[in-house]
């Protein structure tokens, strides 16, 4: 063994960096090494599609360089991990170094699904490359009406580009966002001059145009693909670790290999709030929470991860927030507030399982947060109260929690 021992974290994004710092906060005193394939200091990804892409702001560091140094975290930047030997407890890096470890955390994230001829947006380098192309009057074609595509559309429209969004599904943002709220976002894009084409397949890209499935074409100067991401599992797979829609972990982020954990976008985990349904989340907050949770698990804590899935998307002046899983909803309730903000509640067998909201700025944040807490408590709120904008949501938190039964079970 030639490396430092202790804990090695692979991936210096939100999850891995947070985990490295959390190890110290938990009192871990052995070496902590953070290995990241990207050059430079760890940074936040959410602004890449918004303020960084528009040029309004630079990178937001995840923490100060001093904080990493003060925590005694050794950050190896710009060097990829190339091989993992789980039996020998050794990680090989692209520069030939071999790091031994007691425990290893894979926080390798995800990568944007590529479309040859199109830009993608995942890293700072991606954002810089795309930003250079977004000058006023540029015709921008966006393949995929999901979060990344729509945030780029909003930013590009704001920069004076002529934007077309092509989405194969009948509506934007798929099953992650309730239809009503997706329609509100779509209307806002149209109002901003974006040509939103749902139910439109892409046949292929040709220089200067997107050829559509129906034989038509969109003339473009730049194409951006926002067609989802794939978990970064190559290192784990080659090491013989179980992978299925991400690195398979248990409720404490332990993989199938001894002393190897995985967290963040790269892993799929069972969620106790949803009958241990396996989820793989691609969200900033999940990455952050899972990194901190995995750090505690690495040190022996056994409590399973049960945080409610949550994400947000900013498009123009609108912010969308979603907590829970809209896809498992069987009953929907809508609340339209006097300020125009809309909330959507999803129930299953009377239990609140999802909440979403759309409004200007942070207008829906408080209500979505309360909804998230109700979901965590397995609350069974009165649908009429949820629908009535005159009924404050916060007092619902004081109602007795629902009995801890699984949906469908006899209470």
Q: What residues line the site for another protein (CB under 8 A)?
A: 18, 21, 44, 60, 63-64, 67, 284-285, 288, 292, 312, 319, 361-363, 365-366, 369-370, 394
Minimum CB–partner distance for residue 34 and another protein (Å): 15
Distance between CA 263 and CA 19 in Å, rounded? 9
Token digits of residue 107: 């926080």
Cβ count near 266 (within 10 Å): 31
- Residue closer to another protein (CB basis): 67 or 278: 67
Minimum CB–partner distance for residue 39 and another protein (Å): 22
Minimum CB–partner distance for residue 366 and another protein (Å): 5
Minimum CB–partner distance for residue 364 and another protein (Å): 9
Q: Max Cα separation, the chain?
A: 65
- Residue closer to another protein (CB basis): 36 or 42: 42
Token digits of residue 56: 């309004």
8 Å CB contact between 345 and 386? yes
DSSP-H helix ranges across 123-273: 124-131, 147-158, 179-191, 234-238
- Residue closer to another protein (CB basis): 39 or 361: 361
- Residue closer to another protein (CB basis): 71 or 349: 71
8 Å CB contact between 59 and 117? no
Q: What angle do CA 96, 97, 100 make, to 5 degrees?
A: 140
- Residue closer to another protein (CB basis): 44 or 259: 44
Minimum CB–partner distance for residue 368 and another protein (Å): 9
User: DSSP E strands: which ranges in 259-330?
Assistant: 260-262, 267-271, 277-279, 310-315, 318-324
Minimum CB–partner distance for residue 61 and another protein (Å): 10
- Residue closer to another protein (CB basis): 159 or 292: 292
Distance between CA 371 and CA 355 in Å, rounded? 6
């Amino acid at each position: 063994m030639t490396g430092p021992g202790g804990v090695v974290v692979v991936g210096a994004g939100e999850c891995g960096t947070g985990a490295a710092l959390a190890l110290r906060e938990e009192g871990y005193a052995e070496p902590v090494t953070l290995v990241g394939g990207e050059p430079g200091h760890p940074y936040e990804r959410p602004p890449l599609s918004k303020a960084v892409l528009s040029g309004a702001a630079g990178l937001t560091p995840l923490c100060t360089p001093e904080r990493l140094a003060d925590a005694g975290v050794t950050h190896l930047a710009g060097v990829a991990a190339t091989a993992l030997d789980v039996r020998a407890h050794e990680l090989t890096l692209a520069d030939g170094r071999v790091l031994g470890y007691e425990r290893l955390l894979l926080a390798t994230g995800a990568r944007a699904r590529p479309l040859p001829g199109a830009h993608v947006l995942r890293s700072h380098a991606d954002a810089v490359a795309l930003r250079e192309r977004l000058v006023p009057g540029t015709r921008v074609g966006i393949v995929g009406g999901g979060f990344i595509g729509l945030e780029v559309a909003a930013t590009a429209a704001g920069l004076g580009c002529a934007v077309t969004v092509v989405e194969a599904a009948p509506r934007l943002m798929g099953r992650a966002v309730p239809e009503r709220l997706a329609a509100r976002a779509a209307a806002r894009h149209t109002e901003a001059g974006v040509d939103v084409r749902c139910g439109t397949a892409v046949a292929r890209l040709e220089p200067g145009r997107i050829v559509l499935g129906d034989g038509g074409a969109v003339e473009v100067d730049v194409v951006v693909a926002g067609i989802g991401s794939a978990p970064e599992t190559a290192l784990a797979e080659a090491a013989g670790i179980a992978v299925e829609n991400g690195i398979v972990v248990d409720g404490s982020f332990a993989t199938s290999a001894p002393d190897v954990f995985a967290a963040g976008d790269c892993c799929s985990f069972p969620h106790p709030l949803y009958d241990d349904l396996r989820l793989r989340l691609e969200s900033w907050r999940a990455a952050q929470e899972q990194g901190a949770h995995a750090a505690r698990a690495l040190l022996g804590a056994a409590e399973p991860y049960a945080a409610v899935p949550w994400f947000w998307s900013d498009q123009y002046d609108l912010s969308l927030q979603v907590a829970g899983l809209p896809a498992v909803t069987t009953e929907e309730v809508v609340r339209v507030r006097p300020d125009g903000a809309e909330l959507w509640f999803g129930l299953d067998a009377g239990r609140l399982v999802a909440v979403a909201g759309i409004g200007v700025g942070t207008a829906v944040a408080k209500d979505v947060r309360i909804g998230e807490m109700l979901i965590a408590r397995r609350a069974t709120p009165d649908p009429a109260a949820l629908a009535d904008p005159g009924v404050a949501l916060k007092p619902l938190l004081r109602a007795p929690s629902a009995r801890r039964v699984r949906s469908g079970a006899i209470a």
